[in-house]
Amino acid sequence: MIGNMIAILAGLILLMGWLKGGAARFAALVARFDVLIGVVALVIGILELLSLQGILLILAGLVLAVRALRSVPSIGDVLAQMGNMLAPFRLIIGALVLVVGLIGLLQAIFS
């Protein structure tokens, strides 16, 4: 359930430039915590590595947490480079992670 919520938040942040109305305002409020959400998404993605949501959370976490990844000893620069390389795909990653998060949340609510 928490993975679904983080996926939705990460998707909204990644899609912030494309959203309109209330969704854009909410995404702007949540975007203040983009690094924190990115780190949490990365950790949850690693824990759920064998699922589609886990892989998408890792990708979203790498993009959102670039600033924090630089401080990881010995592999931080490599992780930050990976996040920077994924940045042009923010729209695709954001849409996918948002859809997967919403579907997972709906499944959890209705089952």
Checking if the pLDDT of 69 tops 90, the result is no
By CB atoms closer than 10 A (0-12, 13-18, 19+), residue 48 is middle
Average pLDDT for residues 72-98, to the nearest whole number?
92
Q: Full-prediction pTM beyond 0.85?
A: yes
3-state secondary structure of 99: helix
Q: For 2-6, 16-20, 94-98, which range has the lowest pLDDT when averaged over its residues?
A: 16-20
Q: Which residue segment(s) compose the domain that 97 sits in? A: 2-110
Q: Could you tell me the pLDDT band of residue 81, with boundaries at 50, 70 and 90?
A: very high
Give the pLDDT of residue 25: 94
Q: How many CB atoms lie within 10 A of CB 20?
A: 7
How much is the mean pLDDT over the chain? 94
What value does the mean pLDDT take over residues 37-45? Answer: 96
Q: Which residue has the tokens 């949850």?
A: 44
Domains contained in the chain, number: 1
The pLDDT of residue 74: 87
> How sure is the predictor about 71, in pLDDT bands with cuts at 50, 70 and 90?
confident
Which DSSP letter does residue 16 get? G
Residue 52 in this model has a pLDDT that exceeds 90:
yes
